[in-house]
Amino acid sequence: MSHQLFESPKDFLAAGPLSKEFVDLKRDIQVSGDAIISHLPPRLAKWDHSIQDASYLDSLVINNEVNFLTEVRYSRYGKMALITNEDVVSKIHIEIISKILMGNGFRYISESELGEPFRRRDRMNGDWFHLYFDYV
């Protein structure tokens, strides 16, 4: 993956939460997430709209196993989205999710392209994942 994508991504909150671009992004997040929910087994997907102090705006929980919380995270930057802990998600579900995201104008980024898996808590602050898809 080219890191050019991360050089100066648009911050959709820069113009404020009432700006048209931010309202449009939130609508696109809801539409794509609802489509993901409708294409996955019912027990898997649910919204988590309680994101605060993060570089991402919304998350869709797609698996909540004992050891790993797997989510689709929507960054506030560059209309990017990824799946956390994607190595424990079936390839079929990743294909479904990535196709829906891209069909709704999101740049799907494989977590593996950003470095280490999300579940490592000793990640280096300032890595690509932390900057665009994690709590700050």
This prediction's pTM: 0.83
**pLDDT tens, residue by residue, 8-47:** 688 888 888 899 999 999 999 999 999 999 998 877 788 8
**pLDDT tens, residue by residue, 92-115:** 999 999 999 999 999 998 877 776
Domain residue spans of the chain: 54-134
Residues 27, 132: Cα–Cα separation, whole Å: 19
